[in-house]
Amino acid sequence: MEIEDGQLPFLDIDIYRKTDGSLELRAYRKPTHTNLYVHQNSQHYPANKHSVFSPLVHRATALCDQESLAPELTFLTHDFKQNGYSHQQIERGMKPATRTTKTEDKPISTGYLPYTQTAYGTISRMLAKYNIKSVAIPPKKISSYMPPTKNAAGLRTPGIYMIACECGKVYIGQSGRSVKFRIKEHERHIRLAQPDKSAVAEHSFKQEQII
């Protein structure tokens, strides 16, 4: 539960109580917000970079009241500058979107091209001469080139396993079957009170006798 202390965040809105009792609405950001967006120098298609502006500007105009709208837009302008965008790019990106009707011929085909800042523009213009639409594919992330750090098979493979007891002792076993199956066997032997079939069940049985 959050208690009002002159203000109260609710979803994306920060509600402030003024001295006269009326409420002021501002855009809310968590304290951990970094104000980092797609940087202008990043290897992304220009349309993807331009799309950074519209949702943030729309949020400001939709949520903020007249008193807090101007400070919010100033804050966004500063953030965009910190992310490498020029004054002209910011001014163009913060303008309301306008819809235009194009009468161009429908493309006969679509080409999906990996985006690079130099080659994509040249190739897309060449394809446009033959009425072929170009779609930019973002480059792969570094993580896609690296092997997974975790074993996807997990406990479904044979191997060495460890079971810790509340008394502080640890049982280390090895199974030629899946580790998951062997652990279930230990659990079944404990549940059925069969200490002769499992060292873990035997230890559990002795602990119960001590208690």
What is d(CA 199, CA 19) in angstroms, rounded to the nearest whole number? 71
Write down the pTM of the prediction. 0.51
Residue 43 lies in a domain: yes
Residue pair 54/97 in contact by the 8 Å Cβ criterion: yes
Rounded to the nearest angstrom, the gap between the alpha carbon of residue 68 and the centroid of all alpha carbons in its chain is 29
Please name which of 110, 76, 111 lies closest in space to residue 93, comparing C-alpha atoms: 76
The per-residue pLDDT for 104 is: 61
13 plus 75 within the same structural domain: yes
72 plus 19 within the same structural domain: yes
Residue 33 lies in a domain: yes
The per-residue pLDDT for 41 is: 84
Ranges under pLDDT 50 in the chain: none
Give the number of domains in the chain: 3
Residue 147 lies in a domain: no
Residue 103 lies in a domain: no
Residue 1 lies in a domain: no
Residue 104 lies in a domain: no
Enclosing domain of residue 51: 7-93
The per-residue pLDDT for 102 is: 60
Residue 123 lies in a domain: yes
Residue 144 lies in a domain: no
164 plus 202 within the same structural domain: yes
The per-residue pLDDT for 124 is: 83
Q: What is the pLDDT of residues 128-155, one digit of tens each?
A: 888 888 888 777 777 777 766 666 566 7
The per-residue pLDDT for 23 is: 84
* Residues 6 or more apart in contact with residue 44 via CB below 8 angstroms: 38, 115, 138
